[in-house]
Amino acid sequence: MRYKFLGSMKKTGLRETTRKDSINHSKTSRCLSFTASRDWYYRYFFAFSGLRSVTTDFGDGTKMHCWVPKVQKPDKPNLLLLHGFGANAMWQYGDILRHFIPRFNVYVPDLLFFGGSSTTRPERTEEFQARCVKRLMEAHGVEEMSLVGISYGGFVGYSLAAQFPRAVERVVLCCAGVCVEQKDMENGLFQVADLDEAASILMPQTPDKLRELMRFSFVKPIKVIPSYFLTDFIDVMCSDYIIEKTQLIHTILEDRHFCNLPKIKQRTLIIWGDQDQIFPLELGYRLQRHIGEEADLVVIKNAGHAVNLEKTNEFVKHLKAFLYESLSD
């Protein structure tokens, strides 16, 4: 398997760099940083769980970081976990990783401009992100996979399934408003006035904006958090690639029309919090209707946009029922 992996790397002209240290070592090594300490814990946990930290250089100004299996087992199916905005991929999947490591070869990449992934290329669409993820998976010798996409990761995952139907087997989309249109904002579907306001909340640069993001993301956010902790989180997690991430947000909605959305044919599970204030539940029903009979929608009660964090046990229960079912297909 190792020789197959190296052959794939040579064939695609990509380079691999294994990182034993932190991607953002200068940040995570600072003293008295709760966020950096938590990030270190997740890094240790991912490594303890049998994954290794790898950065792949595509040679065109694009590099992508990914947690990949230390030993890829051919008898296991492959599972790709795609994160959304907010903290890096480890923070969004750290609490569910243990449920899938025993049954799958698990891959957890940082999307472009998150964690250790970036590009000098000008593209900002989810289609481009999806093509980069496909190249990344090919570099690791993965030709077929199921995937889970949370929020923005769902946009990328949906595009991956649409562009490469033979490579994607099953799809889970969590609070991913891929059926959204630009006119939805104009018609008042969202609680923000425009994309600039949305960007200021999704990429908070002040404690007040981070508190606002928490109010949008959770039904019951923690009400009393010292500004010091919020500033620390912003400094470690929200201070890189601000311009590029703003461009990603604008690209999601600008000139977006539902009629242009391709229809995927894979078995799909859609998971939504019933009180999602970032992508309202209406978009979940719209997505189910668009995909048709291959899609099931699960609505989790008393949950907001961060349903994977707020209702972790229910979230995992539905993931396992759907993804484990594929093992007996």
Query: Per residue in 8-19, pLDDT tens?
Result: 443 444 555 444
Tell me the backbone φ, ψ of residue 297, rounded to 5 degrees: -115, 125
Residue labelled with tokens 């010798």: 141
Mean pLDDT of the chain: 88
The confidence score (pLDDT) of residue 182 equals 84
User: What is the spatial distance between Cα 27 and Cα 167, in angstroms, rounded to a whole number?
Assistant: 36
Closest CA to 38 of 85, 92, 113, 83: 92
CATH number at residue 289: 3.40.50.1820
Assess whether pLDDT exceeds 80 at residue 213.
Answer: yes
Domain count, the chain: 1
Q: Which residues contact 328 (CB under 8 A, 6 or more apart)?
A: none
Residue 3 — pLDDT band, cuts 50, 70, 90? very low
Q: Which residues contact 202 (CB under 8 A, 6 or more apart)?
A: 85, 86, 213, 245, 249
The confidence score (pLDDT) of residue 148 equals 98
Whole-prediction pTM value? 0.88
Percentage of residues of the chain with pLDDT beyond 90? 68
User: What is the spatial distance between Cα 261 and Cα 257, in angstroms, rounded to a whole number?
Assistant: 7
Q: Which domain holds residue 257?
A: 2-327
Angle between helices 242-253 and 195-202 (to 10 degrees): 130
SS3 214: helix
The pairing of beta strand 118-119 with beta strand 267-273:
unpaired
Residue 290 — pLDDT band, cuts 50, 70, 90? very high
The confidence score (pLDDT) of residue 193 equals 66
Which string of b and e fits 271-310 if b means at least 16 CB within 10 Å? bbbebbbbbbeebbebbbeebeeebebbebeebbbbbbbb
